[in-house]
Amino acid sequence: MAEIFTASRALGLMAVVLLVFVTAGVIYLSLMEANDRHRRRKPEQSSDRQKR
């Protein structure tokens, strides 16, 4: 029974680590996309000001 408990604990730990890794990756990609979107809009706004 001790082997099953150890295997279950190891699988549970791996699941938690994977969940944290995927969550961090999604947050990182979301922040990079927002940063890129902000950077792409910035030149458009400055060119609009120059046209006026």
* Six token digits for residue 5: 């408990």
Q: Report residue 32's pLDDT band, with 50, 70 and 90 as the boundaries.
A: very high
- Above 80 in pLDDT, residue 12? yes
Average pLDDT of 17-39? 96
d(CA 10, CA 2) in angstroms, rounded, equals 12
Tell me the torsion sign for CA atoms 17, 23, 27, 30: positive
Question: In this structure, is residue 14 part of a structural domain?
Answer: no
Question: In this structure, is residue 3 part of a structural domain?
Answer: no
d(CA 7, CA 13) in angstroms, rounded, equals 10
d(CA 24, CA 4) in angstroms, rounded, equals 30
Predicted local confidence at residue 3, as pLDDT? 73
Question: In this structure, is residue 52 part of a structural domain?
Answer: no
Structural domain range at position 40:
21-46
Q: Report residue 5's pLDDT band, with 50, 70 and 90 as the boundaries.
A: confident
Q: Report residue 4's pLDDT band, with 50, 70 and 90 as the boundaries.
A: confident
Predicted local confidence at residue 22, as pLDDT? 99
Question: In this structure, is residue 51 part of a structural domain?
Answer: no
Question: In this structure, is residue 16 part of a structural domain?
Answer: no
**Total domains present in the chain:** 1
